[in-house]
Amino acid sequence: MATAGKNLSQYNREEIPSAEDLKIGLVVSQWNSEITEALYQGAFNTLVECGAITKNVIRWNVPGSFELVFGCKKMIAGHSPDVVIAIGSVIRGETKHFDFVCEAAAQGIKDLNVLTDTPVIFCVLTDDNWQQAKDRSGGIHGNKGTEAAIAAIQMAHL
């Protein structure tokens, strides 16, 4: 397991560039909202801790992880952020729906990174069960939202 023995929330603030001058978009899926809200809080708190000005952090909600790509595309077109974080959670169920949504979200976010000059950070948990999602959204493995915020700051400074 990639996160076994690793806490996603651990970083050295001294090694992270300031987010003070950045305009940052967060596009958040409302599906599995307990998880996505925790991811959002991890990202938002980390951005602020790293100097982001709250009025420069724009949040949009979309219905689910499948809709993240369109939300990110519209965020880029409408607000010209320095970076966007796509926050979602897909938990495996009994059908292949999980595979289709995960693939579409991953490929769509990759496509935005190829087609635009605005980095889009993949903060979509793709877990087998609810406990894995909780463990990675503020549980024993920390918060993937924190990790995404650090990646966003670093990518915006490229």
Q: Which residues are catalytic?
A: 97
The 3-state DSSP class for residue 139 equals strand
Contact by Cβ (8 Å): 25, 60 = yes
Structure tokens at 23: 């305009």
Give the helix ranges, DSSP H, for 1-158: 33-49, 68-79, 97-115, 130-135, 144-156
Structure tokens at 86: 């796509």
